[in-house]
Amino acid sequence: MLNFTVDRTKCNQCGQCVFDCPSRIIELADDRRPFIRPENEERCIQCQHCLAVCPVAAVSIFGRDPARSLPLTAGSFPDVEKMIALVRGRRSVRRYRDENVEPALLQRLLAALSNAPSAINRRALTFTVIDDKAVMKKFRQKALKGLEEAGKAGRVPSQYAYLMQAVPAWTGEGVDMIFRGAPHLLVISAAPESVCPQEDVNLALASFELMAQSAGLGTVWCGMAKMTLEVLPELKAAMGLVSGHYYYAMLFGVPAFRYARTVQRDDAARVHRVQI
C-alpha cells in the first residue's frame, strides 16, 4: 500500500504531481483531485517526486509528512561558482590526522547519502563503514598480515602483485601504502540483481566525497583496498561484504593539511560536440 493521500484543504489542483510522476500512475479525478488506482500501485518506484513537487505540501505518500521535508528555496543549493570550486578543488587526500571524525557529522553524511541517485530508484545499497580509528588500526594490521601470508603461500594473483610492495613498506618502514593511515573506511556495495550495481556504487561514493570534502574532511578512492579484499576473501567476509556483490572503497578522515589552491587542468578531457 502506497498510502497516497492528498490534503483537500491545501491542494490547489495544479496537477504537478500528475505531470511529474515518472511511472505515470497519478491521475486527476473528475474534481481534479489527484489519486492512484490500486491496480497501478505496484508500478510506483518510490521516488517521492509527488511529495517533493507539490507547491503547497498537500501530498503525502508512504505516510511521509511533507512538513518534515527540508524546504527548497532559491538559496537552498550552493551557487554554481561554489560547486565549480568544489569540483576543481576536490583533492585525493592521502595524509590524515590520527583522530576520529565527529560521530554526529558522519551520521549526517550517511543519512544524506541514502538520497544518492540509483537506477530506477532501487536504493539497494549497503554502506559498510569503519568509524573508529582503533578498529581501523586492527583492520589495517589484519590486512597487511594477511597479505604477507598470502604472498608466502603464492595466493596473490599476478594482477595484484603490486600489493606485495605494501608489506615490506609497512613492516620495515611503517609506511601504509594501502590505507594511507586513514582513520576510516567506507565500502559501498550493491547486489548483482540491481539494474546498474556498479554505477549505483560509484554515484553514492561520488556523492559522499563531495559532501565529506564540503564538511572539511579528506577522501580518496581506494582501489588498493578493493584489491586487498579480493586477495583476502576471509577479510572481505569478516567485513560483512557478500561474495558476488559489486563494491568499491573510499578512505576518509580529517586531512593532515589543506590545499591552498586548485590545479589547472580544465583542458584534460576531450569535448566532443554532436551535430546531427
Q: Is the predicted pLDDT of residue 274 greater than 90, yes or no?
A: yes
In a domain, 48, yes or no: yes
In a domain, 241, yes or no: yes
* Grid cell for residue 108: 549526517
Task: Look at residues 22, 43, 68 and tell me which one is the last residue of a structural domain.
Answer: 68
Residues 169 and 58 in one domain: no
Q: Where are the beta strands (DSSP E) in 10-81?
A: 26-28, 34-36, 59-60
How far is Cα of residue 203 from the mean position of the Cα atoms in its chain?
A: 6
Residues 150 and 45 in one domain: no
* Grid cell for residue 275: 551535430
For the chain, the residue count is 276
Residues 162 and 188 in one domain: yes
Residues 61 and 102 in one domain: no
pLDDT in tens, 36-90: 999 999 999 999 999 999 999 999 999 999 999 999 999 999 999 999 999 999 9
pLDDT in tens, 191-207: 999 999 999 999 999 99
| Structural domain span for residue 36 | 5-68
pTM above 0.75, yes or no: yes
Work out how many domains the chain is built from and give that number: 2
Residues 130 and 225 in one domain: yes
In a domain, 266, yes or no: no
Cell 570550486 belongs to which residue? Answer: 85
Q: What is the CATH number of the domain that holds 198?
A: 3.40.109.10
Residues 205 and 127 in one domain: yes
pLDDT in tens, 243-257: 999 999 999 999 999
Residues 98 and 51 in one domain: no
Nearest in space to 35 (alpha carbons), one of 53, 59, 12: 59
In a domain, 259, yes or no: no
- Within 10 A of 225 (CB to CB), how many other CB atoms are there? 22
Q: What is the CATH number of the domain that holds 22?
A: 3.30.70.20
Residues 121 and 52 in one domain: no
Distance, CA of 20 to CA of 18 (rounded, Å): 6
In a domain, 141, yes or no: yes
